[in-house]
Amino acid sequence: MENQGFRKNLINIEPYVAGEQPKNDNIIKLNANENAYPPSPEVQKAISGFDAAKLRLYPDFSGEPLKSTLAEYYGLKPAQVFVGNGSDDVLAAAFRAFFNSDMPILYPDVTYSFYPVWCDILRIPYKTIPLKEDFTIDVNDYAQPNGGIIFPNPNAPTSIALEKSEIVKLLDANRDVVVVIDETYIDFGGESCVDLLDKYDNLVLTRTFSKSRSLAGMRLGFAMASEELISYMNAVKDSYNSYPVDAVAIAAGVSAVNDDKYFKDTLAKVISTRERLAKALEDMGFTVAKSAANFLFAEHNKFTAQEIFNFLRDKGIFVRYFNKPRIDNRLRITVGTDEQTDKMISALKELIG
């Protein structure tokens, strides 16, 4: 065939691969760190009561009134909050806005596998920093010339949180670059750095409604930073898609934030099941990292992660297995309801004895 030269200009990237999505409702899905519980009943009310006539108009381009609701909740000015279409969208805006140096950005070797994908598609140079043997971050490794830093706290898929005093050390050694902390799982036990935003005008925190607020299907995320940095994220947003968050999602998000009791009760349930599951896994011969998230990172002393993954999958229980260096004998298991957890423990007992 002639004139097929267009193929050399097609994009050449390896996209992010999400956890498998089951074809039927009987599957126990513990592979995407979704919340075990539904969102607040106030969210249901907001959606049911939403006036479809309002969809005639574009939503507020800055995500109001959700932005102000979040600002008030976290004690910030509305101009310090950026609202987006899930934290993936928010992170993508942050990568575009802040990582424009010729120097490599730094992030851990074992971390959220979307970071290398954004670096590839945006042509951002990067360098991975190995976690310590116990999968914790050594902040001293980040005291080197760089074009920016990003890491999740707690980290994923390790579930391990970094202490705030360590983060302060990292920030003090990196005043000339933007440091993005991906706080996707922070509500489940880590210490947020929101109070550091006053002191560090180069710090950006990203958050999501997908995990602690049970709204993965709504696609809502946000960032908190200095007004200056947020203005750059808005400039990026307005250069791609001025209205990423739809009007129904804005209404649902406001209702979720306003029901603080439900939020805290749900967190407490997930945390209590997490601790029970961790103990049960340890009793069965697993080594389990100390989790500050809504998932566990575990390795068995006899069965390989791949074997356990396949066994559970055959039983209709989906967990996450990453065939990647350093973590290919570990499973990442989302904390489900108590009933789901009991079913998984029983299934594991069948295999392990």
Q: Which residues lie near ligand PMP (CB under 6 A)?
A: 86-88, 112, 152, 156, 182, 184, 208, 210, 216, 221
Q: Minimum Å distance from CB 103 to ligand PMP?
A: 23
Cis before 154 (ω within 30): yes
- Helix, strand, coil percentages for the chain (3-state, nearest 5): 40, 15, 45
Taking the least distance from each CB to ligand PMP, the nearer of 170 and 181 is: 181
Sign of CA dihedral 255, 256, 258, 263: positive
Helix, coil or strand: residue 49: coil
Helix, coil or strand: residue 203: strand
Q: How far apart are CA 117 and CA 230, in angstroms?
A: 23
Tokens of 116: 């290398």
Q: How far apart are CA 134 and CA 161, in angstroms?
A: 12
Taking the least distance from each CB to ligand PMP, the nearer of 205 and 284 is: 205
Taking the least distance from each CB to ligand PMP, the nearer of 20 and 176 is: 20
Q: Minimum Å distance from CB 32 to ligand PMP?
A: 7
Q: Minimum Å distance from CB 89 to ligand PMP?
A: 7
Taking the least distance from each CB to ligand PMP, the nearer of 46 and 150 is: 150
Q: How far apart are CA 106 and CA 285, in angstroms?
A: 35
Q: Minimum Å distance from CB 236 to ligand PMP?
A: 16
Q: Minimum Å distance from CB 102 to ligand PMP?
A: 26
Q: Minimum Å distance from CB 220 to ligand PMP?
A: 7
Taking the least distance from each CB to ligand PMP, the nearer of 152 and 336 is: 152
- Long-range pairs for 337-345 at CB < 8 Å and ≥24 separation? 337/36, 337/37, 337/273, 338/273, 338/276, 340/28, 340/30, 340/36, 341/273, 341/276, 341/277, 341/280, 343/28, 343/317, 344/28, 344/30, 344/277, 344/312, 344/317, 344/319, 345/277, 345/280, 345/284
Q: Minimum Å distance from CB 295 to ligand PMP?
A: 9
Taking the least distance from each CB to ligand PMP, the nearer of 112 and 303 is: 112
Taking the least distance from each CB to ligand PMP, the nearer of 96 and 303 is: 96
